Chains A and B, each alone.
Chain A
């Protein structure tokens, strides 16, 4: 990012006044309006926005690849001096893949499952480079090598399902590069990947871009990725670009109230124990766009002018422009915006030395692998392989790890939704592993779970009232509450999670993602549990909504003394919310300690790498520490490497690491590491 570029030269891509919409039921609803930006060769332009803001649709519109319901309503796209919307389809095909190429969010579904990698790359070579046969084969090998795939000749004959997620995305990139494009459109290229893989892919993209002098349009919702990659940033909100600036300016002085709010909603260590700032309300739907500034209904500074008049661009500095009336009437800025540090932190420390609510010792969950003619068990997927945890009331333990490390399985095994293979799970000192369903029933109300996907965790056929009442009826049924009491209890719960009492008779589909997660929390709270297992409760939510849910969880813990087992892959959330952290790798906890210790001074090489891979939205601080890049990807838990599972990826691995799994080693009263480096 250090290199200065001449932004005055003719841009590679110039989008002016692009508007597009989607038809539904005979009407066209505008999804994006008046979008204008430019990308120069060698420049990375990041289009940042939350889900539904129209950023992906805009990218597809550039390629003229909108789905059947999409309509381009107006505007021009000028690519290398050619008006794309005026090109006949046959010429446009030359631009697609040849002039600008695109990579997509989901590498698993974006590659054709029944064609070999070589064939999928070869197609582009034949189409845009006129290469076939041996020449194409050679070029394809080169491309695969360029995107960092080992043994490219072999990989060319493989099918996508034989590749890991990170490799698929590398292949996607190779496919995109095959036509030698001048512009790469990357639509959330790392969102579906783990952080360590994300770091690899981002590095790769950056290197390739520098090498090939490509322009890159990076579409993302992740401020960290923007900070890591972008030269310039455009922020989209509800189908409009609201702020545009050079990356450094943007992170130093965000000017639009929406952008400010986004930064304020990011959880991190500095805001621990306090409320995160949230953005009131929700993104307006396409059918009901506000008349004036689209952010006005949610803006803390908005006044009449904002509600009636859509703001035009105001220049806030060199290359920094903002669509906000505040720029011309700065005195209107209300001071409330910086309410951050409310002192709610102290309540937490009150209950410490109590008896643990949850004690997990040497928990194992193995799934058999059946093979062969008789489907005999030939091995086990060791999803969880000896996990021990303790959790006391009022505390939060974060279980962190990448996908496939077994963290969700731990949660389900604790709840006895999965039968543990071995080990003990004690709830309030009582062993619950291996109890029958009958015996388990009275204990079920003490522990509950909040699930990841708010759209899959609520039965769409039941009303909110019925959903919340289900647990009460199943577990508190002996109390035989009257209907009126039940109604009152449900109303109280809804109020507790910040929902209107009128929600009782409505159905889940009428609520937004954040509201649904509140309903899910209310459902869990209905049986007054002591332990709440939160399985990535915010990973499906936008940052501003995530802040609301994190605030709610914090308040509930303070007022009810709940213990949280918080399963996540997001370190920012961990920093904000957790007291203790346990880092998992391939079914085992490799490091455990208080959040300050683990995040400030990680000891295990994996923890260090993980932390260093997280892109930080604050470029200044992120660049400080040494950057560790993990090679390769997480091996399969069905066949973990011998010795320390981490040794093939570890820079410090010794002979001992290859032979023996390290024992637990207590570094202090609260700190445990499993690594041969510490003895």
Chain B
């Protein structure tokens, strides 16, 4: 096995590192820490964060890539597959490899369309007959006893639920013990940490929501996530839980793979946006004069080109570059990955203007504040004033913008991929899934599962992001905090 670091992996892990550093830094800043604590108190916010953490886990597992070693012939150097896999792929090997011929409905044992089948009669003769063919993998363990499918599915689901319940109860107990150990009642922060609570009291407090951190929301969400995940895991081994698509690939697998694409689009784009917006916005507001005029001209010009068209133009040009330089890419995955990154880059370049304008306005206000003038009176250098006095006091806007942008970008990916200027068609994403599946709505009966799965997952992801964004905005907006 040969580890592969795709460019997007690099950015993702960079982001993780930045997140860790950011957390450490804001823990040291009492005002930021207090704001985060307010986020922690928000029940919808924490429920959303738990969901997002589950998505992030999937995405991160999908961001550790490698090339599996091909079965080596004796004495030869080890050869590696040109196929790049991720840890998630390895975990989902059964889903990835058990491909049917074409469409099949969720949990089906037979295909979606009738085919001419040759049925061997008991007497040995072969009769040709149009029927739904048996799936190669879906419900294979049932053998000929297809009627047992319902009972089998129910049994597997129940067992999975039982496991989920056990794990969940254990987690709850763990949290309750933690609360009991701390003992400090949350609502009254004035009181010092009291003596340890009895476990039962802690348990009650936990579910009454009388904790500084919205543990009850986290645990409730975790319970739902666990239940769904366990049931899916319990059934996915034997059935195609969400059905299969046109080429017979498992839809559940596709949906899970889409998560990483969505996360990359939503997060890596901000890596491009933030430095541009923060630097140009603050500099324009602080220095004013011709620097301000220039930066304003720059973003008004960029802004005046309708976003989709600018993206379309840039993506078209990028496509030309990629198509005319096939020698740059060793594997198809690499090409798709670079195209994804380029898309992030283009999205970032076209979307920094809003935040920059916002920050410029705030910087204009801040530069007139007396603490900035006091620093000027000490002869503190401009760069230091920007970094020490302006940036930290604009951080809340940046954080709010960051979480608010995420959901918009995830939604945009789907639209762009539909228009044909999104991710590489070979890359699995919500957009490509929807794009591939939408034509099938015309069929009779309808192939609804691919679309539904993609839309449902995207909805949950975006809703969670929006809820978290709301909680973060409420907590960080100085007008709200008092």
Q: Are B371 and A458 within 8 A (Cβ)?
A: yes
Q: Is B134 an interface residue (CB 8 A)?
A: no
Q: Are B380 and A457 within 8 A (Cβ)?
A: no
When distances are taken between beta carbons in the complex, the residues of chain A under 8 Å from B392 are 459, 461
Q: Is A354 an interface residue (CB 8 A)?
A: no
CA distance in complex: A507, B187 (Å): 23
CA distance in complex: A417, B377 (Å): 7
Q: Are A507 and B376 within 8 A (Cβ)?
A: no
Q: Across the two chains, which residue of chain A brings its CB closest to B382?
A: A437
Q: Are B380 and A449 within 8 A (Cβ)?
A: no
Residues facing B in A656-672 (CB within 8 A) are none
Q: Separation in Å of the B111 CB from the closest CB of chain A?
A: 58
Q: Is B404 an interface residue (CB 8 A)?
A: no
Q: Separation in Å of the A404 CB from the closest CB of chain B?
A: 17
Q: What total of chain A residues lie within 8 Å of the partner, measured CB to CB?
A: 33
Q: Are B370 and A441 within 8 A (Cβ)?
A: no
Q: Are A461 and B374 within 8 A (Cβ)?
A: no
Q: Across the two chains, which residue of chain A brings its CB closest to B32?
A: A461
With known contacts A460-B393, A509-B31, A471–B370 Cβ distance under 8 A: no
When distances are taken between beta carbons in the complex, the residues of chain A under 8 Å from B190 are 287
Q: Are A26 and B187 within 8 A (Cβ)?
A: yes
Q: Is B328 an interface residue (CB 8 A)?
A: no
| Contact for A462 among B370, B378, B379, B388, CB less than 8 A | B388
Q: Is A453 an interface residue (CB 8 A)?
A: yes
CA distance in complex: A460, B30 (Å): 10
When distances are taken between beta carbons in the complex, the residues of chain A under 8 Å from B393 are 459-461
Q: Is A440 an interface residue (CB 8 A)?
A: yes
Q: Across the two chains, which residue of chain B brings its CB closest to A442?
A: B379
Residues facing A in B385-410 (CB within 8 A) are 388-389, 392-393
Residues facing B in A424-455 (CB within 8 A) are 437, 440-441, 444, 447-449, 451-453
Q: Across the two chains, which residue of chain A brings its CB closest to B374?
A: A457
Q: Are B374 and A449 within 8 A (Cβ)?
A: yes
Q: Across the two chains, which residue of chain A brings its CB closest to B29?
A: A461
CA distance in complex: A229, B45 (Å): 53
Q: Is A456 an interface residue (CB 8 A)?
A: yes
When distances are taken between beta carbons in the complex, the residues of chain A under 8 Å from B452 are none
Q: Across the two chains, which residue of chain A brings its CB closest to B368?
A: A456
Q: Are B31 and A456 within 8 A (Cβ)?
A: no
When distances are taken between beta carbons in the complex, the residues of chain B under 8 Å from A441 are 379
Q: Are B370 and A456 within 8 A (Cβ)?
A: yes
With known contacts A459-B393, A507-B30, A507-B31, A453–B378 Cβ distance under 8 A: no
* Contact code string B356-380 (vs A, CB < 8 Å = 1, else 0): 0000000000000111011111111
Q: Is A470 an interface residue (CB 8 A)?
A: yes
Q: Separation in Å of the A59 CB from the closest CB of chain B?
A: 21
Q: Separation in Å of the A508 CB from the closest CB of chain B?
A: 9
Q: Is A174 an interface residue (CB 8 A)?
A: no
| Contact for B370 among A415, A444, A453, CB less than 8 A | A453
When distances are taken between beta carbons in the complex, the residues of chain B under 8 Å from A471 are 378
Q: Across the two chains, which residue of chain A brings its CB closest to B380?
A: A474
Residues facing A in B417-474 (CB within 8 A) are none
CA distance in complex: A372, B389 (Å): 36
When distances are taken between beta carbons in the complex, the residues of chain A under 8 Å from B371 are 456-459
Q: Are B31 and A461 within 8 A (Cβ)?
A: yes
Q: Separation in Å of the A524 CB from the closest CB of chain B?
A: 8
Tally the A-B contacts, defined by beta carbons under 8 Å. 63
| Contact for B376 among A25, A287, A417, A447, CB less than 8 A | A417
| Contact for A475 among B31, B373, B374, B378, CB less than 8 A | B378
When distances are taken between beta carbons in the complex, the residues of chain B under 8 Å from A474 are 375, 378-380
The interface centre, meaning the residue of A459, A509, A524 with most chain B CB atoms within 10 A of its CB, is: A459
Q: Separation in Å of the A550 CB from the closest CB of chain B?
A: 20
Q: Are A470 and B31 within 8 A (Cβ)?
A: no
Q: Across the two chains, which residue of chain A brings its CB closest to B390?
A: A459
Residues facing B in A456-510 (CB within 8 A) are 456-462, 470-471, 474-475, 507, 509
Q: Is A523 an interface residue (CB 8 A)?
A: yes
Q: Is A527 an interface residue (CB 8 A)?
A: yes
Q: Across the two chains, which residue of chain B brings its CB closest to A27?
A: B187
Q: Are B31 and A457 within 8 A (Cβ)?
A: no
With known contacts A417-B373, A459-B389, A444–B31 Cβ distance under 8 A: no
Q: Are B378 and A527 within 8 A (Cβ)?
A: yes
* Contact code string B177-195 (vs A, CB < 8 Å = 1, else 0): 0000000000100100000
With known contacts A26-B187, A460-B31, A461-B393, A451–B370 Cβ distance under 8 A: yes
Q: Are B379 and A440 within 8 A (Cβ)?
A: yes
When distances are taken between beta carbons in the complex, the residues of chain A under 8 Å from B388 are 459, 462, 470
| Contact for A449 among B30, B31, B187, B377, CB less than 8 A | B377
CA distance in complex: A415, B380 (Å): 14
Q: Separation in Å of the B192 CB from the closest CB of chain A?
A: 15
Q: Are B379 and A449 within 8 A (Cβ)?
A: no
CA distance in complex: A361, B379 (Å): 24
CA distance in complex: A123, B101 (Å): 76
Residues facing B in A24-62 (CB within 8 A) are 25-26
With known contacts A456-B370, A461-B31, A470–B379 Cβ distance under 8 A: no
CA distance in complex: A462, B392 (Å): 9
CA distance in complex: A440, B376 (Å): 11
When distances are taken between beta carbons in the complex, the residues of chain B under 8 Å from A457 are 369-371, 374
When distances are taken between beta carbons in the complex, the residues of chain B under 8 Å from A452 are 370
Q: Are B375 and A470 within 8 A (Cβ)?
A: yes
When distances are taken between beta carbons in the complex, the residues of chain B under 8 Å from A447 are 377
When distances are taken between beta carbons in the complex, the residues of chain A under 8 Å from B378 are 444, 448, 470-471, 474-475, 527
CA distance in complex: A451, B373 (Å): 9
When distances are taken between beta carbons in the complex, the residues of chain B under 8 Å from A451 are 370, 373-374
The interface centre, meaning the residue of B187, B190, B373 with most chain A CB atoms within 10 A of its CB, is: B373
With known contacts A440-B379, A444-B379, A474-B380, A523–B29 Cβ distance under 8 A: no
Residues facing B in A507-556 (CB within 8 A) are 507, 509, 520, 523-524, 527
Given A25-B187, A448-B378, A527-B378, list of 7 further CB < 8 A pairs? A287-B190, A417-B376, A449-B377, A457-B371, A459-B371, A474-B380, A507-B31
Cβ contacts A to B, 10 pairs, < 8 Å: A417-B376, A437-B379, A441-B379, A449-B373, A451-B374, A457-B370, A458-B371, A459-B389, A461-B392, A524-B374
User: What 3 pairs across the A-B complex have the smallest Cβ distances?
Assistant: A457-B370, A451-B370, A461-B392
A interface list, Cβ under 8 A from B = 25-26, 287, 412, 415, 417, 437, 440-441, 444, 447-449, 451-453, 456-462, 470-471, 474-475, 507, 509, 520, 523-524, 527
B interface list, Cβ under 8 A from A = 29-31, 187, 190, 369-371, 373-380, 388-389, 392-393
